């Protein structure tokens, strides 16, 4: 499975500068999240993009694994959730 780790920026290293456009409310929320996290906006966006790429790579891997081995069972998913220390949905939250 591909794994992308965002680089820690060194001013001597070339970076790929991008221009992005957001809905104003989303832009405000992203800037606020970066500030709350004590990060620069570029670093926050790079981390968010890396997390999205990891999630997509994991989904692709799991899809191909399930084609070969069959769907994961509810028990397997519960065990994986527990072993990874992931939060579980409460009974009051709608299912995703």
Q: What is the pLDDT of residues 49-77, one digit of tens each?
A: 999 999 999 999 999 999 999 999 999 99
Taking the model in full, what pTM does it have? 0.68
Report pLDDT for 5: 62
CB 43 within 8 A of CB 34: yes
pLDDT of residue 41: 93
Domain containing residue 61: 1-96
Torsion of CA 38, 41, 47, 52, to 10 degrees: 130
Q: How many domains does the chain have?
A: 1
Mean pLDDT of 82-89: 88
């Amino acid at each position: 499975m591909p794994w992308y780790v965002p680089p820690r920026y060194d001013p001597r290293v070339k970076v790929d500068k991008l221009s992005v456009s957001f809905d104003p409310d989303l832009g405000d929320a992203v800037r606020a999240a970066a500030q709350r996290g004590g990060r620069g906006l570029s670093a926050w966006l790079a981390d968010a993009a890396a997390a999205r790429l990891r999630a997509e790579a994991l989904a692709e891997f799991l899809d191909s694994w399930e084609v070969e081995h069959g769907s994961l069972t509810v028990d397997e998913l519960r065990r994986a959730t527990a072993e990874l220390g992931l939060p579980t949905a409460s009974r009051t939250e709608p299912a995703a």
